[in-house]
Amino acid sequence: MGWLFLKVLFVGVTFLGCLYPLVDFCCSGDTRGQKPNFVIILADDMGWGDLGANWAETKDTANLDEMAAEGMRFVDFHAAASTCSPSRASLLTGRLGLRNGVTHNFAVTSVGGLPLNETTLAEVLRQAGYVTGMIGKWHLGHHGSYHPNFRGFDYYFGIPYSHDMGCTDTPGYNHPPCPACPRGDGDGPSSRGNECCLWFPHRTHERDCYTDVALPLYENLNIVEQPVNLSGLAQKYAEKATQFIQHASASGRPFLLYVALAHMHVPLSGTRLSADRRGRRPYGAALREMDRLVGQIKDKVDRTARENTFLWFTGDNGPWAQKCELAGSVGPFTGSWQTHQGGSAAKQTTWEGGHRVPALAYWPGTVPINVTSTALLSVLDIFPTVVALAGASLPQDRHFDGLDASSVLFGWSQTGHRVLFHPNSGAAGEYGALQTVRLEQHKAFYVTGGAKACDGKVGPPRLHEPPLIFNLEEDVAEAQPLEEGSAEYGRVLPEVRQVLAEVLVDIAGDKTSRADYTRDPSVTPCCDPHRKACRCHTT
């Protein structure tokens, strides 16, 4: 790791003695007013209906609702995949998993990550003169050159994967709960970590729990806390984000800040949460905590670079199914045909609840205020849109699945995609396979089922040939597919087959990548292997 540290150290020097870790904010000349800044905030497992502006029953997102009123709200916006790593890889590359190689989640012991021959948004913007920062959950590889500091980000502060992939002393709320980290001799008795047990004392540990290795918190290449204190993580993210915005704005350099939140993924932080057995009160409190964090970032943008900063908020995928005690709200997407067949209607699946996510755009003076867009858009569009707005160029040696949505953002058009492809993200079928096709208002499923529900049960896989087809304009809940013998079905089916065949031919001829999913326990992040759970605190 020595050469890796030197590589970051060479890039990162302090700015005017401010000691902001390892970031070079210096620049010749003042570029403000020439290139816009970008703040991309990605929520984790947030349901479409968790945004109050989308669903009137939600009362916990005052700051986000204000942002919607002051900007643009998208009601037909989709994650690029229905689980963590593939969705994040697509955000940073503008490409589906069959192209960028990331088709399912990376593990604590994963040797690889987002393939190194894939170009990230941060790399493109850094080449264009931007200072780049990433705060929060990475989940695209933490070992060696897969670390965010070597994928285009000058500064990184966050956790390497989901916060349920390591034990903590404050496990927070989950159903069923996981235990706190073990403490070895000399560590002292644990006086924390019992919140979960007080909440569901009758439950046993029916899910996979990580008890051997604690969840680490990184600042650049260094683990600064292991296990991380989840109760204070949101505030730390807010502080680091506002510091980054302040330093970058003062330097005169344009900046990209990518903030990948822990909210609303379980376990929910124990900060100011009170529980009842239905689980809605802690979920609402966590939603409010996330909303406050976003509000702090927006306030900092407004105070420092309001007229020249584009803030984009969205989610990586939908929440777990509604039968889960801590599930978020997918709004109207609760009556799917698959649910009626005994399956799951949300995360990992390609039903609307799994990938239709909240999305907001905020840029005073540029994005029109209080506008609702019905354009069919995707997380895939963030890469080409930001690159275009920055005046940079897309890599020319590969194809992209996203589009430049600038005309929609500026209020000039309501035209987005005609076609979107929803890959398998852990349900039935092969990882990454394009088994669901969105064609204008129609949606076709070739495979359904196979997703694991919160109770641990897996719905039976179902193959559909010819495919199930729904008309989302008339049936957004996907409750009843079109009759196969109907005129509408007969008209749509050939078009679905044609666009699916065309994209598969295009992918076959493209420059594609293959992620390394091999595992090796030696790559597990551990700041002190001589202590139980790798405990250390350097902050």
pLDDT at residue number 323:
45
Q: What is the pLDDT of residue 350?
A: 93
Cα 70 vs. chain centroid, distance in angstroms? 23
pLDDT tens digits for 305-318? 999 999 999 999 98
Tell me, yes or no, if 454 is annotated catalytic: no
Give the dihedral sign, CA 516/501/93/135.
Answer: negative
Which of 78, 139, 147, 422 is flagged as catalytic?
A: 139
Q: Please, what is the Cα angle at 51 between 47 and 55, to 5 degrees?
A: 95
Give 337's pLDDT tier (boundaries 50, 70, 90). Answer: low
> What CATH number was assigned to the domain covering residues 37-188+208-269+281-417+515-523?
3.40.720.10
Catalytic option among 84, 196, 526, 534: 84
- Residue 125 — very low, low, confident or very high, per pLDDT cuts 50/70/90? very high
Element (H, E) at 42: strand 37-43
Q: Which tops the pLDDT comparison, 339 or 432? A: 432
- Is pLDDT of 161 > 90? yes
What pLDDT is recorded for position 38?
Answer: 98
Structure confidence by residue, pLDDT tens digits, 371-396? 999 999 999 999 999 999 999 999 99
pLDDT at 273 over 80: no
Supply the pLDDT for residue 513.
98
Give the pLDDT confidence of 178-197 residue by residue, as tens digits.
899 998 754 543 333 333 33
Q: What is the CA 376 to chain-centroid distance, rounded?
A: 19
Q: Are 429 and 435 in contact (CB under 8 A)?
A: yes
Lowest-confidence range among 127-141, 268-282, 489-503?
Answer: 268-282
Confidence category of residue 281, pLDDT binned at 50, 70, 90 = confident
Is pLDDT larger for residue 369 or for residue 333? Answer: 369
Residue 98 pLDDT: 98
Which is more confident, 503 or 21?
A: 503
**pLDDT over 60 (residue 199):** no
Please give the Cα distance from 224 to 536 (Å, whole number).
Answer: 8
pLDDT bin (cut points 50, 70, 90) of residue 425 is: confident
DSSP 220: T
* Single-letter amino acid, residue 353: G
Band of residue 336 on the pLDDT scale cut at 50, 70, 90: low
Q: Can you give the pLDDT at residue 339?
A: 57
Q: In angstroms, how far is CA 301 from the centroid of its own chain?
A: 21
Burial of 418 (0-12, 13-18, 19+ CB in 10 A): exposed
Residue 334 in this model has a pLDDT that exceeds 90: no
Confidence of residue 358 (pLDDT cuts 50, 70, 90): very high
Higher per-residue confidence, 389 vs 324 = 389
Percentage of the residues of the chain whose pLDDT score is greater than 90: 71
Tell whether the model's pLDDT for residue 269 goes beyond 60: yes
Name the phi and psi angles at 242, rounded to 5.
-70, -35
Pairing of strands 77-78, 371-373: unpaired
pLDDT for res 43: 97
- What are the sequence ranges of the domains in the chain? 37-188+208-269+281-417+515-523
CA quadruple 376, 317, 463, 106: dihedral positive or negative?
Answer: positive
- Does the CA dihedral 378-379-382-383 come out positive or negative? negative
How high is the pLDDT of residue 30? Answer: 41
Which residues does 297 contact at the CB level (< 8 Å), separation at least 6? 39, 41, 238, 241, 242, 245, 259, 311
Which residue(s) pair with 444 in the sheet?
A: 437, 469
Respond yes or no: is residue 142 known to be catalytic: no
Decide if pLDDT at 496 tops 50: yes
Give the lowest-confidence range in 248-262, 264-278, 302-316: 264-278
First to last CA, the chain: 21
Look at residue 56 in the predicted model and tell me its pLDDT.
82
The pLDDT of residue 202: 30
* Comparison of pLDDT for 344 and 57, the residue scoring more: 57
Higher pLDDT, 141 or 57: 141
- If you ran DSSP here, which 8-state letter would residue 371 be given? E
pLDDT tens-digit series, residues 52-109 = 999 888 889 999 999 999 999 999 999 999 999 999 999 999 999 999 999 999 999 9
Q: Would you state the pLDDT for residue 458? A: 81
SS3 string of 306-344? HHHEEEEEEECCCCCCCCCCCCCCCCCCCCCHHHHCCCC
42 has pLDDT over 90 = yes
248 pLDDT higher than 60:
yes
pLDDT band at 452 (very low <50, low <70, confident <90, very high): confident
Can you tell me the mean pLDDT for 198-209?
A: 43
